[in-house]
Amino acid sequence: MADIADIAHKADVALTGDMLIGSASVPAAGATMRALNPATGREIEPPFALGGAAEVDRAARLADEAFDSYNRTGLDERAAFLELIADRLDAVNGELAERTALETGLPAAQLSAEAAKAAGQFRQFADVVRQGRFRHATVDPAQPERQPRPRTDHRMQKIAIGPVAVFGASNFPISYSVAGGDTASALAAGAPVILKAHNAHPGSSELQARAIRSAVADSGLHEGVFSMVRGAGNEIGEALVDHPLIKAVTFTGSEAGGMALYRRAQLRPDPIPVFAEMTSVNPTFVLPSALAARGAEVGDGFAERMLVNVGQACLKPAILLAIDGPGYAGMREAAVARAGAMDARTMLTPGIHDAYERGARRLRDAGAASLVEGPEPRGTWEGRSRLLEVDGDRFLAEPALAGEVFGPSALLVRLTGMDQLLEVARSFRGQLSAAMHIDEPDHADAARLLPILERRTGRIVVNAFAHPQEVAHATIHGGPFPATTDSRFTSVGMTAIDRFLRPVTYQGFPDALLPEALSAGNPLGLWRLTDGYLSRD
Ligand code: NAP
């Protein structure tokens, strides 16, 4: 415990507890909150200011003021800004990991790697910006001779949608929070960001926000490009979604929270998109040949991934499905051994811990049998690993069994045959990912399963698990509802930028007024679609 106290002291030095609204540090006018160390149950200094609709309004006005100049920054200038954020995040890596560990109960070494990954995402988006392909520059030159009617010059590019409200997530407190992919992709698109900090890690949020804000100032950008607000209860989140100057929202969290914000945004006089990433059980199918050949290996790997981040991960493989037959018992034994050996570990917040316990009860009440529980927790908010099992008939009869339990628990589903496996696959709601473990003799069955999975998931993995996730150009972290509110987009990977872009056509423009990406002679050397063909002319 002594070393945790020392870390608290060290990390507190840099924290003021203010909200960061543009270049202003806004101290508490009224209520404050303190971070909670979930490992000890003790509050941690300093007090953090809580704001409401007034702070949201101030940040939104600044973001709106910043929009025109920021949206028009040159590609190199914007890329350099994103790289500076990455450098500033790297510069506070140790301090950030330590403070975040204190606020989340997650290991500092893991959080240091997460912070490095977050910095890496800003560099990846800098590369995307420099290439300029996100603009989708498209040129249909004038055809004055065309009959029966001449064609006028039409040019199209994508610009940022407007100021974006980003809700920081609780479970990956850096890479899905203040300095996460939502912020990186929105800033890459040219959209100012107003970040709603998650109250589970306020000190960590402040450190990340300070890194971003210092990069805004040192890049000579308008102060409104980035702000961070904080509040208690739903008021601040609702004010963000309602604010007329906010033009899009991103969210990672519960289905109830995501849908409340989504519905609210649709009731505005001018509805706006809410990109909410909410819930997924990431079903993992083991087909018969693979099961017979290496059931134990799959069972062990599944349980290992299920325990990552104390199971508090959107890509946690939560449901393992296989036909009872050769290899099934070995798969179950290996999964039981791995899950049963994990010590209980601190969960992110008391609320998430309590929801985990309720979720475990829900699975048992719905008819799942307990296979193993890990050792008894020693701390109040420690989550104990759990593996349960149910047969296919019961699973099909009880929709509650297919719901997410956020934490270190998973469900094995024992099936009677391929027909039942396909029927169960069809019963799943939208997912972020699904996995198939297959050997060559399974290919015909896999080909029957594949179209079912394609209709329900954003990513299909063969002979591996959704963890660890690559952040790259082909990455999709999305999927049909309820995995997300818009299956056409991803919240992770380079195409996450598309959420914050909208197309504008410039018709009959003199060259002097055209945006650079569309100018005659292609001065930026972009790949452009000219008369329907890609070229750099
Ligand atoms: P959450 O309750 O959905 O909250 C996420 C953020 O949205 C918080 O900042 C919260 O503000 C805000 N919010 C939620 N509902 C709102 C509403 N109706 N109006 C305005 N703001 C609202 O998620 P959480 O606190 O991170 O965790 C709770 C549960 O969510 C977990 O137990 C888990 O089941 C699920 N979860 C799932 C994932 C996933 O990736 N699948 C990730 C994280 C969490 P306040 O904190 O101020 O209420």
Q: What DSSP state is assigned to residue 191?
A: -
Q: How far is the CA of 254 from the centre of ligand 1 (A)?
A: 5
pLDDT band at 30 (very low <50, low <70, confident <90, very high): confident
pLDDT, mean of residues 350-359 = 97
Specify the amino acid at residue 536: R
pLDDT, mean of residues 264-284 = 98
- The reported pLDDT for the residue numbered 468 is 85
- 277 assigned to active site: yes
272 plus 382 within the same structural domain: no
Write the pLDDT tens digit of every residue in 61-71. Answer: 999 999 999 99
Query: Does 113 reside within a domain?
Result: yes
**Ligand 1 pocket member 257 (CB < 6 A):** yes
Query: Does 334 reside within a domain?
Result: yes
Write the pLDDT tens digit of every residue in 408-439. Answer: 999 999 999 999 999 999 999 999 999 999 99
131 plus 225 within the same structural domain: yes
Query: Does 512 reside within a domain?
Result: no
353 plus 260 within the same structural domain: no
Query: Does 525 reside within a domain?
Result: no
**Ligand 1 pocket member 465 (CB < 6 A):** no
Using DSSP bridges, classify how beta strands 528-530 and 369-373 pair: parallel, antiparallel or unpaired.
Answer: unpaired
- The reported pLDDT for the residue numbered 211 is 98
- 314 assigned to active site: yes
188 plus 296 within the same structural domain: no
**Ligand 1 pocket member 169 (CB < 6 A):** yes
Query: Does 536 reside within a domain?
Result: no
- The reported pLDDT for the residue numbered 392 is 98
pLDDT band at 3 (very low <50, low <70, confident <90, very high): very low
- The reported pLDDT for the residue numbered 29 is 85
Query: Does 511 reside within a domain?
Result: no
25 plus 81 within the same structural domain: yes
- What percentage of the chain carries pLDDT values higher than 70? 98
Catalytic residue among 314, 382, 389, 404: 314
267 plus 325 within the same structural domain: no
| CA of 252, closest atom in ligand 1 | 42
268 plus 293 within the same structural domain: no
Catalytic residue among 277, 382, 389, 404: 277
pLDDT band at 459 (very low <50, low <70, confident <90, very high): very high
Q: How far is the CA of 37 from the centre of ligand 1 (A)?
A: 18
- Domain of 128 in residue numbering reads as 4-278+489-496
Using DSSP bridges, classify how beta strands 345-346 and 382-383 pair: parallel, antiparallel or unpaired.
Answer: antiparallel
The whole model's pTM is what?
A: 0.96
Q: Exposure pattern of 389-402 as b/e (b: 16+ CB <10 Å)?
A: bbbbebbbebeebb
260 plus 347 within the same structural domain: no
135 plus 253 within the same structural domain: yes
Chain-centre distance of CA 304, in angstroms?
21
Q: Please report, for the domain that includes residue 29, its CATH number.
A: 3.40.605.10
**Ligand 1 pocket member 409 (CB < 6 A):** no
In 10 A of CB 373, how many CB atoms?
A: 16
- The reported pLDDT for the residue numbered 11 is 43
> Which contacts of 49-53 are long-range, i.e. CB under 8 A and separated by 24 or more positions?
49/17, 49/18, 49/19, 49/230, 50/230, 50/231, 50/232, 50/236, 51/19, 51/26, 51/229, 51/230, 51/231, 51/236, 52/231, 52/235, 52/236, 52/239, 53/235, 53/236, 53/239
Report whether 223 contacts 62 (CB < 8 A): yes
- The closest residue, in CA terms, to atom 4 on ligand 1 is 253
Round to whole Å and give the CA distance between 109 and 112: 5
pLDDT above 60 (res 250): yes
- Count up the domains in the chain and report the number: 2
Query: Does 51 reside within a domain?
Result: yes
| CA of 197, closest atom in ligand 1 | 9
- What percentage of the chain carries pLDDT values higher than 90? 96
pLDDT, mean of residues 493-514 = 98
pLDDT above 80 (res 10): no
272 plus 304 within the same structural domain: no
pLDDT above 50 (res 285): yes
329 plus 420 within the same structural domain: yes
Q: How far is the CA of 256 from the centre of ligand 1 (A)?
A: 8
Question: In the predicted model, what is the mean pLDDT of the chain?
Answer: 96
Q: Using alpha carbons, select from 497, 528, 509, 434 the residue that is nearest to residue 190.
A: 497
Round to whole Å and give the CA distance between 333 and 411: 13
pLDDT band at 14 (very low <50, low <70, confident <90, very high): confident
- The reported pLDDT for the residue numbered 7 is 42
**Ligand 1 pocket member 252 (CB < 6 A):** yes
- The closest residue, in CA terms, to atom 8 on ligand 1 is 198
Alpha-carbon distances, residue 13 vs 160, 202, 207, 209, 496 (angstroms) = 37, 14, 11, 16, 35
pLDDT above 50 (res 12): no
Calculated CA dihedral for residues 396, 366, 257, 18, nearest 10 degrees? -140
**Ligand 1 pocket member 466 (CB < 6 A):** no
| CA of 235, closest atom in ligand 1 | 20
Which residues have a Cβ under 8 Å from the Cβ of 3 and sit 6 or more positions away?
Answer: none
Mean pLDDT is lowest, of 1-5, 126-130, 420-424, for: 1-5
Q: Please report, for the domain that includes residue 422, its CATH number.
A: 3.40.309.10
392 plus 354 within the same structural domain: yes
**Residue 422: its H or E element:** helix 418-427
Query: Does 119 reside within a domain?
Result: yes
